[in-house]
């Protein structure tokens, strides 16, 4: 057991090195963030027993995204799992990151009750709901967004579909927010599904979705750029964590290059995708539907 694991969480997060890292990211808000984190640890026995380094990494991911970790707010969570801590994105956090990107005109998710649901056609994504009816039994969840360019997307899952997804893919289904705030996690899952596939993704959104997928047994979609070292990993590095010997690797690479045949053809040039955002839209899809947002009929533009 390392010395970092023997110290208390309070000593660990009040150490000058850790406070300095949070200060670099939060720029004046680190004291409140650390206080909130220690309060969260004090209220959760499983989190209190987790390795401080993993709690630090999970909390730092939320700090980098500038999302509060208070569970009642629903922006981001630090979740215990087998004496470890993991970052988990909340649906409000995903909505906030989408709003920051400046690409979304409207974005929403919600609960559909039995008395309100009239019909849903998954082929053309037509959801008919009467929201004037009172709330009773939860039967499903919807998520939808509309871009500034007019493109819009909607999806609906039954409660059973959301439960099946959570049980199958979430490592902390029985101990994390899936257990304490199921409705919020169901909405987050639907939003993440349609945004990661059809929506424009800022660098922040890519980082959030990639980090959130680490808490699930699913792969990050291929159209999402992995988190780059200069954004998250560098913040998690330091003397406490193992470092690679770059000098040895460089010498080995040089030796291999010298031994390689000189007549090899140069690899074809590749076109690097623009790092700032990724836009995924269906080309040529034409549909007309009543929008949940403004009652408008929209035809998506071709890319």
Q: How many domains would you assign to the chain?
A: 2
First to last CA, the chain: 54
pTM reported for the whole predicted model: 0.65
In a domain, 270, yes or no: no
Same domain, 75 and 190: no
44 and 171: one domain? no
Domain endpoint, select from 74, 89, 104: 89
Cα–Cα dist 297/291, whole Å: 6
Q: The domain containing residue 154 runs over which residues?
A: 91-236+277-303
Sort strands 84-89 and 76-81 into parallel, antiparallel or unpaired.
Answer: antiparallel
- Taking the C-alpha atoms of residue 67 and residue 75, their distance in angstroms, rounded to an integer, is 6
Kindly state the helix (H) or strand (E) to which residue 197 belongs, with its residue range.
Answer: helix 182-198
Rg (CA), the chain: 22
- In whole angstroms, give the CA distance from residue 53 to residue 36: 17
Question: What is the chain's pLDDT, residue by residue, as a tens digit (303 residues)?
Answer: 444 445 789 999 999 999 999 999 999 999 999 999 999 999 999 999 999 999 999 999 999 999 999 999 999 999 998 889 999 999 999 999 999 999 999 999 999 999 999 999 999 999 999 999 999 999 999 999 999 999 999 999 999 999 999 999 988 888 788 998 999 999 999 999 999 999 999 999 999 999 998 877 544 444 444 333 333 344 334 434 334 444 444 444 444 444 444 444 444 544 444 333 333 333 344 333 444 444 333 344 443
289 in a domain, yes or no? Answer: yes
Answer yes or no: do 43 and 111 share one domain. Answer: no
| Same domain assignment for residues 75 and 126 | no
């Amino acid at each position: 057991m390392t010395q970092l694991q023997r110290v208390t969480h309070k000593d660990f997060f009040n150490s000058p090195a850790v406070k300095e890292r949070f200060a670099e990211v939060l720029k004046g808000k680190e004291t409140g963030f650390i206080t909130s984190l220690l309060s969260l640890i004090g209220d959760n026995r499983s989190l209190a027993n987790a390795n401080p380094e993993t709690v630090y990494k999970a909390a730092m991911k939320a700090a980098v995204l500038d999302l509060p970790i208070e569970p009642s707010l629903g922006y981001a969570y630090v979740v215990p799992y087998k004496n470890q801590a993991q970052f988990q994105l909340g649906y409000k956090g995903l909505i906030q990151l989408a709003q920051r990107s400046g690409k979304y005109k409207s974005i929403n998710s919600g609960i559909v009750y039995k008395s309100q649901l009239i019909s849903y056609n998954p082929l053309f994504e037509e959801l008919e709901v009467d929201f004037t009816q009172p709330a009773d039994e939860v039967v499903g969840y919807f998520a939808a967004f509309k871009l500034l360019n007019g493109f819009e997307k909607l999806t609906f899952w039954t409660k059973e579909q959301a439960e099946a997804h959570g049980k199958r893919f979430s490592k902390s289904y029985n101990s994390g927010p899936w257990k304490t705030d199921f409705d919020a996690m169901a909405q987050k899952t639907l939003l993440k599904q349609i945004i990661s596939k059809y929506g424009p993704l800022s660098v922040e959104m890519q980082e959030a979705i990639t980090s959130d997928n680490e808490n699930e047994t699913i792969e990050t979609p291929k159209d999402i750029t992995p988190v780059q070292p200069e954004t998250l990993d560098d913040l998690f590095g330091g003397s406490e964590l193992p470092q690679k010997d770059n000098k040895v690797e460089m010498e080995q690479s040089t030796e291999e290059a010298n031994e390689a045949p000189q007549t090899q053809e140069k690899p074809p040039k590749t076109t690097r995708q623009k790092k700032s955002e990724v836009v995924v839209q269906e080309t040529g899809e034409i549909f007309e539907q009543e929008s949940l947002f403004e009652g408008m009929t929209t035809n998506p533009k071709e890319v």
